[in-house]
Amino acid sequence: MSSPKPGTVVVIVGAIVLAVVIALIANGVLSGRASTGVPQATPGPASYWGKPFDVGFDAVRVVDIGVDDMLFMAPSWRRQNIVRGVNLATKQVVWEHTGDGFYNFGGDSTHLVLPTARELTIVDPRTGEVTARVALDVDSELYWAGNGYMLLVEAGDTICVREMRDPGSCVWTARNTSIRDRFGDAWGRVHVFGDGRWVNTGDGVRELATGQAAGFGGDGRGGEYEKEIYYTGSGSRVFRVQGMKFGSSRSLTLKLFMFQPWDTSTDQAVSDGIAASSIIVDEASGVYLAFNADPKERKRQTLSGVEWETGYRRWTMEIDSEFRTSATFIDNKWVVGMNKSVRAVDAVTGLRAWQGGSDLDLAGKVGGLIVTVDRRNLEAFDVVNEFSSVVSLALPKTGLLNPVTVYMTPDYTFCLSRKGQLWILEG
């Protein structure tokens, strides 16, 4: 799995999701990364969809790991035996690899790791040239790849970190931690955090590059759900997380976590923790979002704004479902997409600053704009200028009921059809 930002293949561009991954892209899957500096085709009055080109299949997995203009794509979940490297600048499929697996592929700008049940194939992401192959035991699994390293779990109880440039042996090993996601499955994206700097292990938090103790998080461990402790986050927004007792909301069973803002330099709490099912943070915001943080409202699902420095819950609003909710922070506002609607609220007060039309998904942000999509149109709004509409552009027509999926990277806005056609926003 990949990640210059903490996580595997799905990571928010502009916001980091903890405990639950909520994509900011409309129905798509992208890995977050820093911009390469290439100007993006920002939506505007002169925007248009360029001439489409064929990527060869219905790509349901699209990964951006910061390699120039390259993206990496795989077809439907039942055909995870193909990965193609696509250059958006030249509008070409540059290379292809086939094999038995490849579902959890990922890496960084230097290497791409393509795992199967029996081996790892490491390739140059720009050319597809194989640089190494590593045989795997049947009980080994790639959990994460990025920042020059791969994290594997072997025999279920040992973490093995290898260098992608020289993957023949482990740089270091540690006891695995039995961190589980809310559905009970092992979750590689929780193991690695802090922009790929730290790793949760059964022996506390370690430095990814060396395996040495991180200087905080020595109490991290696996174990039974209510006793497990781990750390997660990025940059200046790291949280200590501990499992709590189960709660329920309507017919949905929720796992609750105690999220506590943590100072990694002093190994001390920044503020009181808050019990929630998941959170979304952005380092630019002094208020993070917490789902289902109101202990008196377990019969409905809620979204609250919580102060990082004090732990004070400033506001709460009801939502339909956290599983259909995405959010991004821009101009001191949280813009939230939920249940086919998009609204902006003041981060501190929670007062509504803007409400979009019906049947909208939040596609992402670029500059001072937020981008939304519905079944027929892409629309961009200028947040600073009272959410004025900058452009409303019809999506390409394919003749299908669900014609295209919209994706955004730091450098491109584009859409893919179920027939494998790709259009890039230009102008």
- Examine the pLDDT at 249 and tell me if it is beyond 80: no
Residue 179's pLDDT is 65
Average pLDDT, the chain: 83
- Examine the pLDDT at 207 and tell me if it is beyond 90: yes
- Examine the pLDDT at 8 and tell me if it is beyond 60: no
Could you tell me if residue 9 is inside a domain?
no
Counted domains in the chain: 1
**Interval 189-212 mean pLDDT:** 91
Beta bridge partners of 280: 17, 289
Q: Could you give the CA distance from residue 216 to residue 204 in angstroms, rounded to a whole number?
A: 8
Could you tell me if residue 6 is inside a domain?
no
Residue 235's pLDDT is 82
Please name which of 348, 317, 316, 320 lies closest in space to residue 334, comparing C-alpha atoms.
Answer: 348
Residue 225's pLDDT is 58
The CATH number of whichever domain residue 120 belongs to comes to 2.130.10.10
**Interval 367-376 mean pLDDT:** 91
Could you tell me if residue 340 is inside a domain?
yes
- Examine the pLDDT at 191 and tell me if it is beyond 70: yes
Residue 228's pLDDT is 81
Could you tell me if residue 263 is inside a domain?
yes
Q: By the 8 A CB rule, do 297 and 36 touch?
A: no
* Predicted confidence (pLDDT) per residue in 283-302, tens digit: 999 999 999 887 666 668 89
**Interval 189-197 mean pLDDT:** 85
Q: By the 8 A CB rule, do 192 and 179 touch?
A: no
Angle at 84 between CA 81 and CA 85, to 5 degrees: 150
Q: Cα-Cα-Cα-Cα dihedral of 401, 85, 361, 324, to 10°?
A: 100
Please name which of 350, 352, 360, 226 lies closest in space to residue 289, comparing C-alpha atoms.
Answer: 350
Could you tell me if residue 10 is inside a domain?
no
pTM of the model: 0.85
Strands 48-49 and 198-201: unpaired
Residue 223's pLDDT is 61
Could you tell me if residue 4 is inside a domain?
no
* Predicted confidence (pLDDT) per residue in 381-415, tens digit: 999 999 999 989 999 988 766 679 999 988 899 99
Q: By the 8 A CB rule, do 13 and 409 touch?
A: yes
The boundaries of the domain holding residue 155 are 16-426
